[in-house]
A and B are shown apart, each in its own frame.
Chain A
Amino acid sequence: MTDMQRPGDATDATSPVALAGPGETMSGAPVTPTFALSKADRGGGGGRLAFNIGVTLVLLWVLIAITIPWWTPFDPVTDQDLQGRLAGPGGEHWFGTDNLGRDVFARVMYGARLSLPIALITVAVSVAIGCLIGAVAGFLGGIADEVIMRISDIVLSFPAIVLALAIAAALGPSTTNVVISIAAVTWPEYTRLMRGQVLSIRNNLHVLAAQSIGCSRARVFRVHVLPFGLQPILVKATVDLGMVILLAAGLSFIGVGAVPPTPEWGAMVSEAQSRIDSWWLGLFPGLAILSMVLAFNFIGDAMRDRFDPQMRTQRSKGGGAMSRILRRTFLGKAGERAA
């Protein structure tokens, strides 16, 4: 601290500005992260651009999922036009029609109504279960830790898609079972992550201080350990949203996911297989999957860079409106104030 050598500088009423400096990263205290990525962060402008593209795409899909009934006249399942089946894109049917004469555009757009909730619910379930188990393992240690971690090792040792396939096949094809089977194979990753977080947080001084006050173990865990481990979980969950969409589509493609009339992207691509000539049948749902997976990956990657401690030093806070919104959403008042 060079400041200390300057006479008269070290007064008690120092402004908070001087205190929120890089010194805080050294301690175990959480540093308020920001989502905005400036050029300096990446040595290039790619990060921020990718983040914004990702957010825009996701918001667009959410908007489509909510409002689609108002701007397409076709119902994705019941409006069948057998005379005009397998018509190419153009005219009344922007993305063409499928082998039952259903409008592909409507089906793809309605697909978002299925894929987005599946992804969100699956990841939420997986995060909830995984984090809780992992945090308990890390916090309790000992035998509980060993047992939990070995079970999660067993699950992790299978390729996710294969295990999910087996579970989904055993349960029977339905969207609920897609959620169950994917959550069943993805929770151990959160368990590992959370356990590691808790193990390191557990040694922070504020946890000892909480114990010294007289907090019960449950309170220490709930108030002083758990919230501090959620940051990397958030990053992983975002990337996983994309992965889950892909997995869910994969399961439907194989035939153990959504049942045929349902407008599900994976199922649509699967049907398109047998009609390679009608390229529009597979291309548009495929693009939908691609855009959604990419969008979540963009956001997740940008967040990872932002949270990475290596990149956390000497960075100005701030950023655009989007980063402010996100900061408020994810970090509450603390994040907002820090900015």
Chain B
Amino acid sequence: MPDALLEVTDLAVHFNAKAGARGGSGVVKAVDGLDFSIGHGETVGVVGESGCGKSTTGLAIQGLVKATAGSIMLDGVDLTKLKNRQVRAARRRTQMVFQDPTSSLNMRMTVGQIVAEPLLVHETLPKAQHRERVAELLGLVGMPESALDRYPHEFSGGQRQRIGIARALAVEPDLIICDEPTAALDVSIRAQVLNLFRELQRERDLSYLFISHDLSAVHHISDRILVMYLGRPMELASRDTVYNDPQHPYTVALMSAVPIPDPDVERNRKHVLLKGDVPSPLNPPSGCVFRTRCPLAQDICATDKPEFRDVGTDGEKHMVACHFAQPGMAELVASKAAQ
């Protein structure tokens, strides 16, 4: 995609794990060999289990953790090659919304100060206009102007998340990285916040990297979905393809965990339950990292690392990292798992 806003190529983030109580040490490959892109005004959802590197990916793009290898191109500029000061300047183009709105806001600052902070730091506006701009931003996220001089603890979780969103919007970024923005919210508020994201996108051509393990939220908001497992990309395709025709066994298992709000359908569905736990990222399986839990695993999976390849038909890109990727994977996995 030549006109992509963000292009992540072969991104790797490795951490040196210090010797723990058991004396083990090594390298944790939190993210390894990740390729994806985000277009202008596009939402890419990232899903996967806890610890699969979703959040690390977001932090790496925002420059909050250092990429070990690979490149992150934002409008043709490689963010991984920037120096300290430039990294901070680049953060103007990308902003983050965090999972817990309670702890991601400085409780000692007023809402006005919180939302104005990006303006202050990046000096995009003269100070005299901050108040006006903050009031406008608060209006945008559906908060009253009277919130300006109040403190975050005076608001509900959903309102606090709106404050966090207003803060992210302050410097008019091109990309907002949402790190589980709805995980800490009540179900009813979740929908409101998701709709707010969509409205804002429509109005200002925003792109989102939407990190979540809430599959229904991801389905609601995403154009394309990236499925991750143990820091590796498993599958990347349009939302409908991922939901209706997943070609990776892990995606199949994930999707079967999404409840369908129709008792008839739900009763007749075949659920795929994965056995065991996610292996330690300190010592990932050889070959395909998913093979230890995959119902389709063969000998080749232990020896050869599956390539992240395009299996799409009719022009649509559909990336899958599986030796056995094929249409109708859902049925195949279900029948194998039933045996």
Binding site for B on A (CB under 8 A): 4, 10-14, 16, 18-20, 24, 27-30, 32, 204-206, 208-216, 219, 223-224, 227-228, 334, 337-338
Taking a contact as CB atoms closer than 8 A, the residue among A11, A29, A210, A213 that contacts B107 in the complex is A29
B91–A214 CB distance below 8 A: yes
A10–B100 CB distance below 8 A: no
CA distance A216 to B109 in the complex (A): 17
* Stretch touching chain A among B186-194, B210-218, B255-263: B186-194
23 contacts between A and B (CB under 8 A): A10-B186, A12-B188, A16-B153, A16-B154, A19-B154, A19-B155, A24-B153, A27-B102, A205-B99, A208-B64, A208-B104, A209-B96, A209-B104, A210-B106, A212-B91, A213-B91, A213-B117, A213-B167, A214-B121, A219-B121, A223-B109, A224-B106, A334-B108
Chain B residues with CB under 8 A of A215: 88, 117, 121
CA distance A47 to B173 in the complex (A): 52
B 44-81 to A, binary, CB cutoff 8 A, 1 in contact else 0 = 00000000000000000010100000000000000000
Question: What is the size category of the interface that chain B forms with chain A?
Answer: 35 or more
Binding site for A on B (CB under 8 A): 62, 64, 88-89, 91-92, 95-96, 98-100, 102-109, 117-118, 121-122, 150-151, 153-159, 164, 167, 171, 186-189, 192
CA distance A27 to B101 in the complex (A): 11
Taking a contact as CB atoms closer than 8 A, the residue among B64, B150, B153 that contacts A212 in the complex is B64
A14–B103 CB distance below 8 A: no
Chain B residues with CB under 8 A of A338: 151, 153
The verdict on A216 contacting B88 (CB below 8 Å), with A11-B188, A30-B108, A338-B153 known, is: yes
Chain A residues with CB under 8 A of B103: 27-29, 204-206
A213–B100 CB distance below 8 A: no
Would you give the shortest CB distance from A226 to chain B, in whole angstroms?
A: 11
CA distance A262 to B264 in the complex (A): 93
CA distance A211 to B99 in the complex (A): 15
B106–A10 CB distance below 8 A: no
Q: Given A208-B104, A214-B171, 18 other A-B contacts at CB below 8 A?
A: A10-B188, A12-B188, A13-B156, A16-B153, A16-B156, A28-B103, A30-B107, A206-B104, A209-B104, A209-B105, A209-B164, A210-B106, A213-B91, A214-B89, A214-B92, A214-B122, A215-B88, A338-B151
Chain A residues with CB under 8 A of B108: 30, 227-228, 334
Would you give the shortest CB distance from B156 to chain A, in whole angstroms?
A: 4
Chain A residues with CB under 8 A of B92: 214
The verdict on A14 contacting B156 (CB below 8 Å), with A208-B64, A214-B88 known, is: yes
Chain B residues with CB under 8 A of A28: 103
Chain A residues with CB under 8 A of B105: 206, 209
CA distance A211 to B58 in the complex (A): 13
Give the residue among B105, B106, B158 with the most A Cβ atoms within 10 A: B106
Chain A residues with CB under 8 A of B164: 209
CA distance A338 to B106 in the complex (A): 15
Chain A residues with CB under 8 A of B122: 214
CA distance A29 to B106 in the complex (A): 8
Chain A residues with CB under 8 A of B151: 334, 337-338
Taking a contact as CB atoms closer than 8 A, the residue among B62, B104, B156 that contacts A19 in the complex is B156
Chain A residues with CB under 8 A of B117: 210, 213, 215
Find the A residue at minimum CB distance from B170. A213
Give the residue among A10, A224, A227, A338 with the most B Cβ atoms within 10 A: A10
